[in-house]
Amino acid sequence: MSDSNRAMTVSREMPANTFNGYAFLLALLVPVAIVVWRIAAFNNGGGAWWGGILLVLAILAFILTLAGFYMIQPNQAYVITQFGAYRGTDRTQGLRWVWFWQGRRKINVRAHNVHSERVKINDLRGNPIEVACNVVWRVQDTAQASFDVDDYREFVNIQIEAGLRTVGARHPYDDMSDDDKTTLRGSADVISSELQAELNDRLKVAGIIVDEAGLTHLAYAPEIAGAMLRRQQAEAVIAARTKLVMGAVGMVEDALTKLAEDGVVDLDDERKAAMVSNLMVVLCGDREAQPVVNTGTLYQ
């Protein structure tokens, strides 16, 4: 058997041929009138044999006509089938009617909001983390949702978890060494866009479209939360110290250049080294500097 024969047939939504239910509601008056007429005739002694047959047919027509009514509210649709074959989707609001032998299934095409359970995964660095997300989705193609998957609601829930695991494993939880790198904690907009694209790709087989997706919970797993907190604190201290030292070096360089240009003082290499040391202590120290008055010279 070729691959094309084994491939699943993709359903496509098309409009159904249905009828205005209000017109058939008026048509119900005909069998009702016949029933009333024949009952009155029987009571008056005019019950011919053909009258009984007409009465039965009128009652049967009333029941079968009544079975074809259904109501469509805003943002709802009905999938119409006939002897197992798809005959289209009715999205027309109001009272509708189809033949009694045609099946119909209601599909809610309104927006659905799903908050996933917390999922434990490993990020790009292999650290165990817990994540959860919120997803807004809706049915775009009712034929695919009805015939291409077994239960489209359950399918959505499973694919949300799978997509969350996929996106979460692509990036590290946090990376303070590179400000431009995408991280789960620091790049919320990028992660939300990736998650939405991933879910749309997974759910298109079911005729589902995702309008919005984003992380609602992100944390290290409890077994490493304490260690990773200390690591984050250490990285923050190192990053702050690095920026402080680089800024201090620039300030010292500017000070020495300004003193030389204005001719305030003529410093040799040894005095420059001493000034650099003193300025770095003042600028990088954790506590306020205590001035020391030198009444002599640098060499005494």
Q: Lowest-confidence range among 22-36, 137-151, 176-190, 258-272? A: 258-272
Taking the alpha carbons of 109, 115, 116, 122 in that order, is the dihedral positive or negative?
positive
Residue 47, pLDDT > 60, answer no
Q: Is the pLDDT of residue 297 over 60?
A: no
Is the pLDDT higher at 12 or at 40? Answer: 12
- Say if residue 259's pLDDT is above 80: no
Segment 54-68 mean pLDDT: 85
Q: What is residue 180's DSSP assignment? A: T
With H, G, I as helix, E, B as strand and everything else as coil, classify residue 182. Answer: coil
Tell the CATH superfamily of the 112-220 domain: Band 7 domain (3.30.479.30)
Query: Looking at this protein, which amino acid is placed at residue 136?
Result: V
Burial class (CB in 10 A: 0-12, 13-18, 19+), 241: exposed
The more confidently predicted of residues 286 and 175 is: 175
Give the lowest-confidence range in 27-41, 118-132, 185-199, 219-233: 219-233
105-159 tens-digit pLDDT: 999 999 999 999 999 999 888 888 999 999 999 999 999 999 999 999 999 999 9
- The better pLDDT of the pair 91, 290 is held by 91
Give tens-digit pLDDT for 77-106: 999 999 989 999 999 999 999 999 999 999
Domain ranges of the chain: 3-107, 112-220, 229-284
Question: Which residues face 165 on adjacent strands?
Answer: none
pLDDT given at position 2: 45
Question: What is the H or E stretch that residue 144 is in?
Answer: helix 142-147
Look at residue 1 in the predicted model and tell me its pLDDT. 41
More confident residue, 205 or 220: 205
Neighbours of 84 (CB within 10 A): 6
**Percent of all residues in the chain with a pLDDT value above 90, rounded to a whole number:** 46
pLDDT(4) > 60: no
| Burial track 138-153 (b if 16+ CB lie within 10 A, e otherwise) | ebbbbbbbbbbbeebe
- The alpha carbon dihedral of 118, 119, 120, 125 has a sign of negative
The residues facing 105 across adjacent strands are 79
Backbone phi and psi for residue 286, each to the nearest 5 degrees, phi listed first: -75, -25
- What does the radius of gyration of the chain's CA atoms come to, in whole angstroms? 39
